[in-house]
A and B are shown apart, each in its own frame.
Chain A
Amino acid sequence: MENCYINGIGCISAQRSFEKDFLIEPILYSEENILKVVKPNYKDFISPAAVRRMSSGVKNGIVASTMAIKDADVQTPGAIITGTGMGCMQDSEKFLDNLIHHDEEYLTPTSFIQSTHNTVGGQVALGLKCKAYNFTYVNTGVSFESALLDGLMQVENQDGRNILVGGIDELADHTSKLYKLIDHTKSDDEAPYDIINKRTKGSISGEGAAFFVLDNEKTANSYSKLVDVKFINNLEISGLEKFVNDFLASNELSTSDIDALLLGNNGDIDFDIYYDEMEPLFSGADVLYYKHLFGDFMTSSSIAVSLASDILKSQFIPGALLKNKVPQQNNDIKNLLIYNQYRGKDHSLILLKNV
């Protein structure tokens, strides 16, 4: 079985993640319960006519995938695999709005065509004239993890070279309103928000796109080695320790081998208890959070993989991610574990190693 390296990354998020070292001076959010992406200069990547037509998710997906491919210095990927929790919500809303307000009359196909979940995968393939394997996963909190696992299997089995894997979700106005109604997003009157120290119902909603190039050959640009990915739809809190131990054991590791633990805390009073259970299992590891800077969305683990890969490559943990602001341990960061769950379901573990 081949090793799997992350050789290129492109990330569009609520931070200036298209720039190097963007976390040295991160954008700090405290008054917002919805974090939109910092827009890159789309016209550097997409024709002006297409920029007007495309929803932000499609644009961010195209920019992030283009950046990842360029970063890895490859031409055409051997597969394009995307994950998206909510899909192309902006175009879905547009088509729905016309459908409802115009009573099924005067509809045009553009927003329908672009509402399909695999729009980003299809558009990236079209742009690159890439005829290879093309999959899109849509399983709520493990949509990106599913894509990542598929990519890992492709590399391990040598099904192809330079596998492009990405996670994309976009905010859409009406849907954001609906998610506030059911307390999935924190209420407007709770500001300032502090997801680490003040837990309430729901999360800070976000959006973003992060893409990766995976390959079996290590390059001068390799960020990290993707060791394994595992996820499960349902998990009782009491089963978490076994879930983690079994996963680490199958990779010939134990909890004490983990140098840094990147957790998906989002300040949700009903579900952050999973992270509370997880943290003490790794007493020797630095504990990191990221959703206070990026918001939470169904594919936010893609952001986590991008951050983790940067940390493993640079061997530097930005203070903005650390709970205690100073790293606890001064050793090399060899093994980094990412744990995420979405509203108590879709629990995932992603294990990365330094190269």
Chain B
Amino acid sequence: MSNRVAITGMGIISSIGMDLEENLNSLKNSRHGISKIEHIDTKLKDKILVGEIKKTNAELESILKLPQKNSWSRTSMIGTIAALEAINNAGIDVKDDADIGFINATTVGGMDMTERYFYDFIDDPENRRYIQSHDAGNNTHNICDYIGLNGFVTTISTACSSAANAIMLGARMISSGRLDKVIVGGTDALSKFTMNGFNTLMILSDTYNTPFDENRKGLNLGEGAAYLVLESERSYKKRNKNPIAYVAGYANANDAFHQTASSENGEGAFLAMKKAFEVAELSPKDIDYINVHGTATPNNDLSEGRAIINLYNDSNDVPEFSSTKPFTGHTLAAAASIEAVFSIFALREGLIFPNLNFKEKMKEFDLTPVTKLAHKEVNTIVSNSFGFGGNCSSLIFTKSH
């Protein structure tokens, strides 16, 4: 397994917890974070459910001790909280370390502030400081400046697969020897823009999302951030640190079918998984658990299910799988890193987290997700993430022995 890259730390914030411990507890106790939205004034308030972090912007500002007159979007703030935990968890010092990088992912960037003041900026000099928070990179810069990281810094935005691609690039940067350590993951806050955008696509559920269920009605959007610290063997050995898991395989492919919909046979998804196995030098039968993208839209789950069956040839051979989006909602650019953290929990704790809300198998194929917390030794996991623009990514995580 020449391509595997060590994971030495992680951090997370989501609607089911402010840190690693709270998230794990919620997962173990089947406690989801889906509710009516409280912190954004929107007409969709009574029509949709979301995975919202129940902290106001003012509360987040106070956690980070930001000055009162700051220009931080919510995306930057939750990103920083998760990044700080990841650094702490890895036990690294990012200041004065020239060989450390940061690869972020976001889709909304500072849209939450832009949509608030877009036309008011003209007559409101007070809030103009938020103009420059709009672009995605500004959010990454905020996080880096806060944690004191000066080095290789970039951001990826490929819709719902963004964080998977950040993890993939990080692994490539480590394997190619360009970096010794890199913090990788994504952050996205809820915004009116995204909620209304998904609403126009008519893929938002008015109730709890039910991935891989015959009667699924669409997704719940969520917000959150999560980061992993990836590290070269030379680097973690030098500081006597043991990896918590490995990124063993990764791949990205394009469905090239439609700007927002997945092809019915899930070709992009199939290609991504197949290539990830090649990189990992593993075969589908080595997989103990698949953390599916499973958004609960009619289109995604059908396409993803077919791709998985194609990979295994027979639905009876498909390993245990579940979508954890009923817990957190679909957190867009953060989804793949949040699910990476959940996958590492699964490896470490020997647990498979349930696909909540599932009742009835889809009629198109014979696939039933894990519906109750399962205790089982888990050594190898595939995690899928697919997005607009036909963007399909698969990651393979393995246990650290």
Residues in A lying within 8 Å of B, measured CB to CB:
80, 85-87, 92, 95-96, 99-100, 103-105, 107-109, 112-119, 121-123, 125-126, 128-143, 146, 150, 153, 156-157, 174-175, 177-179, 181-182, 184, 231-235, 298, 345-346
Contacts and interface: CB of A to CB of B under 8 A. Distances in A.
A87 B162 CA distance: 14
Contact of B389 (A108, A119, A143, A345): A119
Given A104-B42, A118-B158, A132 B254 contact: yes
Contact of A118 (B114, B152, B267, B389): B389
A126 B156 contact: no
Nearest to A140: B137
Given A138-B137, A181-B122, A116 B192 contact: no
Contacts of B193: 92, 95-96, 99, 112
B260 interface: yes
Given A112-B197, A136-B158, A234-B150, A129 B256 contact: yes
B23 interface: no
Given A118-B157, A233-B141, A134 B254 contact: yes
A121 B259 CA distance: 10
A143 B259 CA distance: 22
A348 to B, nearest CB: 11
B200 A107 contact: yes
A138 B136 contact: yes
A135 B156 contact: yes
Given A181-B128, A184-B132, A234-B145, A125 B389 contact: yes
A105 B253 CA distance: 36
Given A121-B158, A126-B390, A137-B155, A116 B107 contact: yes
22 contacts: A85-B135, A99-B196, A104-B192, A105-B43, A113-B259, A116-B388, A116-B389, A117-B107, A117-B158, A118-B389, A123-B389, A131-B267, A134-B252, A135-B158, A137-B157, A139-B136, A141-B137, A153-B178, A156-B176, A174-B118, A231-B154, A232-B152
Contacts of A153: 172, 176, 178
B159 interface: yes
A109 B154 CA distance: 29
A113 B260 CA distance: 7
B254 A125 contact: yes
A150 B169 contact: yes
A340 to B, nearest CB: 14
A130 B254 contact: yes
Nearest to B148: A234
A123 B254 CA distance: 11
Q: Nearest 9 A-B pairs (CB), nearest first?
A: A122-B389, A140-B137, A112-B197, A117-B157, A233-B153, A109-B200, A138-B136, A139-B137, A139-B155
Nearest to A109: B200
Contact of B136 (A109, A117, A130, A175): A117
A138 B102 CA distance: 13
A177 B158 CA distance: 28
A100 B153 CA distance: 34
B303 to A, nearest CB: 14
A150 B172 CA distance: 9
B253 A131 contact: yes
B165 interface: yes
B8 interface: no
A121 B389 contact: yes
B383 to A, nearest CB: 18
A143 B132 CA distance: 16
A119 B258 CA distance: 11
A49 B197 CA distance: 23
A130 B391 CA distance: 11
Interface centre among A119, A182, A231 (most CB of B within 10 A): A182
B359 to A, nearest CB: 29
B271 interface: yes
Interface string B168-186: 0100100010100000000
A35 B293 CA distance: 42
A327 B62 CA distance: 57
Given A112-B200, A125-B254, A232 B390 contact: no
